[in-house]
Structure 1
Amino acid sequence: MGEALEPFFISVGLLVCLAYLAKWARCSKCLFLHFWKVLPRSFLKSMGQWAVITGAGDGIGKAYSFELARQGLNVVLISRTLEKLQAVAVEIERTTGSSVKIIQADFTKDDIYEYIKEELKGLEIGILVNNVGMLPSLLPSHFHNTPNEIQGLIHCNITSVVKMTQLILKHMESRRKGLILNISSGVALFPWPLYSMYSASKAFMCTFSKALQAEYKAKGIIIQVLTPYAVSTSMTKYLSTSLITKTADEFVKESLNYVTIGDETCGCLAHEIMVNFLSLIPSWVIYSSRFEKLLLTRYTNYLKQNTNRR
């Protein structure tokens, strides 16, 4: 019996080793690209004349809008607050010389996509950044204690990704090139207690993105999901920056180095290293009552002490 089981255990051991080797290989790629930028500056512009960014009025979306405009693309900014869009558009045009188009739309609603489709008509769209998202509460809390915005969160975090991809992907397919960046979160990589709705909605984005990349990779289209951890934005109440907590500009500039690295990346080296260590923690620890208590006490206190409500 022991002799029969020996090959099985050896095979399982080899598979586990290969899985960890693959994770560290991806981390090594990020390490290389962090210090040696091999992506040609013309690469992003070669995708097409226009980039579309959702949630572009602030934070990561705003940072992508500026960086892609600096790379020579014209940009379409989509968000719900017209005043923010107008201010960002003026600044981008003034500092980069790129053309800017703004579309006011509330992604917590489901009746906006025909209007967006009409507004995008005739544009050669090479890049789509599905960035818009909402976090019910930065502080960890039980499901029944979170704000009652379930339908709005589903529309914003899930429907927006599907519908915007549906609008733009078919044109990329006909041109046989394009880049779609879906901004998910590190909490999507495994279920996070006390962030259940946000974690689950961002996990959908990961699965959807990876499946689409498998479908469309041979057609010259890159579809990549990004799973960052802490980025200091209005959604995270402007967490104090550190080696782990990046500014939106830092995160965006680094993430664009990795667009050809594969179907998933954390978007920055620090978060890539962090996720490799977190993956070593057994799931029973994450789902234990002690870990839940830690989130509700020490982590909550950390967030309160290190956020700045501007």
Structure 2
Amino acid sequence: MESALPAACFLYWVGAGTVAYLTLRVAYSLFEALRVWGVGNVAGVGPGLGEWAVVTGSTDGIGKSYAEELAKRGMKVVLISRSQDKLNQVSSEIKEKFKVETRTIAVDFTSEDIYDKIKTGLAGLEIGVLVNNVGMSYEYPEYFLEIPDLDNVIKKLININIVSVCKMTRLVLPGMVERSKGAILNISSASGMRPVPLLTIYSATKAFVDFFSRCLHEEYRGKGIFVQSVLPFYVATKLSKIRKPTLDKPSTETFVKSAIKTVGLQSRTTGYPIHSLMGSINSILPSWMYFKITTGLNKSLRARYLKKNKKN
């Protein structure tokens, strides 16, 4: 009987220690959630980092909302996208609404010979924020070898989703390092968190953006540069083909207002509280379950698309 007492005492303290540890973890998680999603870093992004913000893919969706939010905070904005007509329209809207200076650079990010033109357009500007937003996905989920015009799709996805991030960073980062301040916000995707079958190339390119951002942040945070990887789930955009915002699929305006407050607080973020919860659940799912759910969903979307478009 006496010999059982030390064992019982040991188990008691193990149990008490476990409860205390879990309590502290929960308390810390709640504190972090309040700090990030409740308070946020409202003053973290603005002209104090530099006069100008540069946003790629800035005429629609998340890119346009980042451009508007940065202009609202008093930053001058360089809008970079493919269509000069759309650029002119968005530029006029921002000038009229926020009373800030804008510039436009019309380039097609599927090409690789555009960066000298961008470099010339950015020459002499004090750039405090770069938003690498331009991106491309599949038209619909598809098996790798069955993607229509596969070679061209490979080239486009790599140029738009990977090369643009590296090249734009190469152009803007030296000035930030020289001034010891700046923020680079790279828009990845929840599809870059874990592999997504039937969106293979897109998922892989967005994983690259995430890893690139995290590595760059560690390399340059000691030099005053904050690099953020933004990994949203679905947002109501043309790219996602979602028209009506919901609680878990916010409008681009709602998403960006939330995401921009995480700059300086989270170098890797989903940008939105509901997406943060979804990301936590996503990360703890066993691989077999995750792949079963994800593959099944994309097979269903593929079948629906092919049926609608009468493809075999």
TM-score of the pair, normalised by structure 2: 0.85
Map 1:96-245 onto structure 2 (within 5 A): 96-137=98-139, 139-147=140-148, 148=150, 149-245=153-249
Gaps of 5+ in 2: 1-13
Deviation of residue 222 (structure 1)?
A: 0.3
SS at match of 1:72: coil
- CA shift in 2, pair 1:27/1:156, >3 Å: farther
- Structure 2 CA distance for aligned equivalents of residues 39 and 94 of structure 1: 24
The offset of 1:44, in angstroms, is 2.0
2:37 aligned partner, one-letter code: H
Aligned: 1:295 with 2:312: no
Residue 283 (structure 2) aligned to one of 257, 279, 282: 279
Contact 2:185-2:230 within 8 A present in 1 as well = yes
Paired with 1:203 and 1:291, the residues of 2 have a C-alpha distance of 16
Whether contact under 8 Å (1:51, 1:74) holds in the other structure is yes
Which stretches in structure 1 are left out of the alignment for 5+ residues? Answer: 1-9, 306-310
Indicate if the aligned counterparts of 1:183 and 1:227 stay in contact, CA closer than 8 A: yes
Q: Is this contact kept in 2: 1:179–1:223, CA < 8 A? A: yes
Provide closer, same or farther for how the CA distance between residues 240 and 301 of structure 1 changes in structure 2, counting only shifts above 3 A. farther
Aligned-partner Cα distance in 2 for 1:72–1:35? 23
Partner residue of 2:78? 76
Q: Deviations over 1:155-203 (max 9, x none)?
A: 0000000000000001100000000000000010011111111100000
Q: Where does residue 56 of structure 1 map in the other structure?
A: 58
Paired letter, 1:136: Y
Q: Paired residue for 2:271, among 248, 267, 270?
A: 267
- More moved, 25-34 vs 162-171: 25-34
**CA contact 1:239–1:245 (8 Å) conserved in 2:** no
CA RMSD of aligned residues (A): 2.6
- Aligned partners of 2:186 and 2:228 also within 8 Å: yes
Q: Go from structure 1 to structure 2 and tell me whether the alpha carbon gap of 1:145 and 1:200 turns closer, same or farther (over 3 Å shift).
A: same
Deviation per CA, 1:3-35: give whole Å up to 9, x if none: xxxxxxx9xxx9xx99xx59x956752443322
Q: Give CA deviations for 1:64-103 in whole Å, capped at 9, x if unaligned.
A: 1111001000000000011110000000000000000000
What SS class does the counterpart of residue 179 from structure 1 fall into? Answer: strand
Percentage of matched positions with identical amino acids:
40
Contact map agreement 1:74 1:98 (CA 8 A) in 2: yes
CA distance in 2, matches of 1:250, 1:195: 26
Are the aligned partners of 1:188 and 1:202 in contact in 2 as well (CA < 8 Å)?
yes
Aligned equivalent of 1:32, options 29, 32, 35: 35
Question: Which letter maps to 2:234?
Answer: A
SS at match of 1:115: helix
Please say which structure displays the higher CA radius of gyration: 2
- One-letter amino acid matched to 1:34: W
> Which whole-Å CA distance do the structure 2 matches of 1:26 and 1:109 have between them?
44
Q: Which amino acid aligns with 1:258?
A: T
Query: Matched residue of 1:93: which SS?
Result: helix
Cα–Cα, structure 1 residues 38 and 104, in superposed 2: closer, same or farther, change >3 Å? Answer: closer
- Rounded to whole Å, the distance in 2 between the matches of 1:228 and 1:112 is 28
How many pairs are equivalent? Answer: 285
Q: Distance in 2 between matches of 1:188 and 1:92?
A: 31
Q: 1:213 to 1:99 in 2, by over 3 A?
A: same
Distance 1:71 1:236 in 2: 27
Inter-partner Cα distance in structure 2 for 1:233 and 1:190: 22
Matches of 2:206 and 2:268 in 1, distance apart?
13
SS at match of 2:271: coil
Which secondary structure does the structure 2 equivalent of 1:51 belong to?
strand
| Partner secondary structure for residue 238 of structure 2 | coil
